[in-house]
Structure 1
Amino acid sequence: MKLAEALILRADYQKRVEQLKNRLVQNARVQEGDQPTEEPKVLMEELTSLLGKVKQLIQKINRTNIETSFDNNETLADALINRDIIGQERKFYSNMLEEATMRHDRYSRSEIKYVTTINVKETQKYVDELSQKYRLLDVKIQELNWRTDLME
Structure 2
Amino acid sequence: MKLAEALAERGELVQRTEHLKVRILANSRHQEGESPAEDAGQLLSDLDGALDRLEVLIRRINRTNSAAQVRDGTVTDALAHRDVLRIKHKVITAAADAASGRERERYGPRQLRSELTYISALPVSELRVSADDLATKIRRIDLEIQSVNWEYDLIEE
Task: Give me the TM-score of the superposition, normalised by structure 1.
Answer: 0.94
Residue in 1 aligned with 2:148? 144
The runs of 5 or more residues in structure 2 that have no matched partner are none
Task: Give me the TM-score of the superposition, normalised by structure 2.
Answer: 0.91
1:106-144 Cα deviation digits (max 9, x unpaired): 221233322211001111111111011111111111101
Residue in 2 aligned with 1:95? 94
- Report how many residues are paired: 151
Q: What is the alpha-carbon distance in structure 2 between the residues aligned to residue 26 and residue 93 of structure 1?
A: 42
Aligned counterpart in structure 2 of residue 122 of structure 1, from 113, 118, 126 = 126
Q: Would you identify which runs of 4 or more consecutive aligned residues in structure 1 move more than 4 Å? A: none
Residue in 2 aligned with 1:37? 37
Contact in 1 for aligned 2:24/2:43 (Cα 8 Å): yes
Residue in 2 aligned with 1:46? 46
Q: What is the alpha-carbon distance in structure 1 between the residues aligned to residue 110 and residue 34 of structure 2?
A: 60
Residue 87 of structure 1, CA deviation: 1.1
The runs of 5 or more residues in structure 1 that have no matched partner are none
2:31 alignment partner AA: Q
Q: What is the alpha-carbon distance in structure 2 between the residues aligned to residue 107 and residue 30 of structure 1?
A: 59
Q: What is the alpha-carbon distance in structure 2 between the residues aligned to residue 107 and residue 21 of structure 1?
A: 52
Taking every aligned residue pair, what percent have the same amino acid on both sides? 38
